[in-house]
Every structure is written in C-alpha cells, then in structure tokens.
C-alpha cells in the first residue's frame, strides 16, 4: 500500500497527487491540512509520498510541522514539490527534516505548475496557463515512474538564500491574515471556509473571518466565486486561478 500526503490551496498539488495515485494504484490520499498537526503520529506503508507547493522558496508551515511529528515506518519515501516561479530550497528544507527519520531510501522531485500567488505575479495569461499545465502533466507522469521504479537521489541541503526568504515569509504569515479584506460583493457563501486547507477561516454573522492559523496559500483569494476577497494588489474582480481539473468540492474533501 502507498500512502500519499498532499497539501493544496488551489489544486495544483492535489491534481498531481491524484494522477500519481491513479498511475501506481493501491493508494490512499490524505490532506496534510486535516491531519493531526500538534502530536506525534505514526505512518506505516510500503511507500510514502508527499506532494506539496513551494511557499517563498520553502516548505508550507503545515507540511513542515506535520513531517516533524511523524514516525515513519516505511522503507521508501518520495517527495515532490509543485512550483510556479521556482521551487527554491523547499526540497532541501524537507530533506533536512527527513535526515533524522531513519528512512532507507529517499527520492526528491520537482513538478512545475501554474503560479497562483496573485499578490505578486497577478493572474496567469492563457498561453502561460496552457504551457504550465502541460509541463505539470509531463512532470507528474515522470514522478509516478520514479516511484514505481523506486528511484533514489539526494538534494543539496545548503540553500542559505532560500532559507532566508522562507524565514521572512514565515514571519510574514503571522500578520498577513490581518490584511485580508472583503468587498461588498461577499454574500457569505462560506466556500472559502470549506476549502481552506488548515481551517483558518471561520464564518461569523454570515461573513468569513481570517485567523492566525492562515498559511497564506491564497486559495480563498483565488477561488472566491464572487472575487470578493482582497489582498495587496488583488482587488475585487481580479481573476483567480484554480486547477481546471480540480473542483471546489474536491479541495474541500478531507479524505479520498
């Protein structure tokens, strides 16, 4: 049995995780955001796979916290980072954690995907979207082959610039949640609350409230059907991004 753990805000990592599962068969998928984060857990499987995005050249905090708390009972682990502009030192950060986990065989891979950080890069253009989705498809197919062949490799764990950028980002998310704004178009549909991968949004009096649990994945900003959530340069009406083959219902599901 293979267990695949994913973290996904707009569907890129979930799409790759699903495709890998379909290719190799006999898999269970788990959403890291909904797994126990603050206590030690044990994962036992023939193969363990992680699929997660790069946040500012580093690991999402939920992924880092989860992996640190896991006791792995597996002979083989593969990890794949999905990324828009650059994966930076995301895999290096994960490798540093896994070095302490006594796993015999490790593989690290990269999967290019559509950039979803609207606050910095804006919405993707049609040609860019098509090109990046094609790259993701090919890289995901290769990722599944790597797992089936149980390939092994290493990554350079010394990435000082990436570590610095990631640290600044992690400091930033402690206050970013305070700067989300709602336009008058918000109708209290609650979709943002349902799809938040770390349950950082709660509905109060029919309006979403953003809490300090926020990982700044930008899922809510991208997927709000009325484009009513604003952050930085993302204003009301700014087009968002969600992987075209991943539905809102899939993102909101806890188990597969």
Domains of the chain: 2-160 (3.40.50.360), 173-248 (3.30.70.20)
Question: pTM to 2 decimals?
Answer: 0.94
For residues 170 and 172, give the distance between their C-alpha atoms in angstroms, rounded to a whole number: 5
Nearest to 88 by CA among 175, 8, 158: 158
Q: CA Rg, the chain, in Å? A: 18
For residues 240 and 116, give the distance between their C-alpha atoms in angstroms, rounded to a whole number: 8
| Angle CA 174–191–16, to nearest 5 | 80
Which tens digit of pLDDT belongs to each residue from 120-146? 888 899 999 999 999 999 999 999 999
Neighbour-count burial of 119, counting CB atoms closer than 10 A to its CB (0-12 exposed, 13-18 middle, 19+ buried): middle
| Angle CA 86–160–124, to nearest 5 | 15
Which tens digit of pLDDT belongs to each residue from 142-191? 999 999 999 999 998 889 999 999 999 989 999 999 999 999 899 999 99
């Amino acid at each position: 049995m293979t267990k695949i753990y994913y973290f996904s805000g707009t569907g890129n990592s979930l799409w790759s995780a699903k495709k890998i599962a379909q290719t190799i068969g006999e898999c269970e998928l788990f959403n890291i955001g909904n797994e126990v984060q603050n206590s030690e857990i044990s994962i036992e499987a023939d193969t363990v796979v992680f699929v997660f995005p790069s946040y500012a050249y580093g690991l999402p905090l939920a992924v880092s916290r989860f992996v640190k708390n896991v006791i792995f009972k597996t002979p083989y682990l593969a990890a794949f980072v999905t990324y828009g502009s650059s994966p930076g030192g995301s895999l290096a950060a994960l490798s540093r954690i896994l070095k302490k986990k006594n796993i015999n065989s490790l593989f690290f891979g990269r999967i290019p995907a559509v950039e979803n950080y609207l606050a910095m890069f804006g919405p993707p253009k049609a040609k860019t979207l098509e090109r990046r989705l094609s790259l993701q498809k090919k890289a995901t197919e290769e990722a599944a082959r790597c797992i089936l062949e149980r390939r092994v490799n290493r990554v350079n764990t010394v990435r000082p610039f990436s570590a610095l950028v990631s640290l600044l980002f992690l400091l930033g998310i402690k206050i970013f949640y305070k700067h989300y704004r709602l336009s008058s178009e918000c109708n209290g549909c609650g979709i943002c609350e349902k799809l938040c991968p770390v349950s950082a949004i709660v509905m109060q009096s029919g309006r979403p409230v953003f809490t300090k649990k926020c990982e700044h994945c930008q899922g809510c900003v991208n997927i709000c059907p009325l484009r009513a959530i604003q952050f930085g340069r993302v204003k009301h009406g700014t087009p968002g991004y969600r992987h075209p083959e991943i539905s809102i219902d899939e993102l909101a599901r806890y188990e597969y």
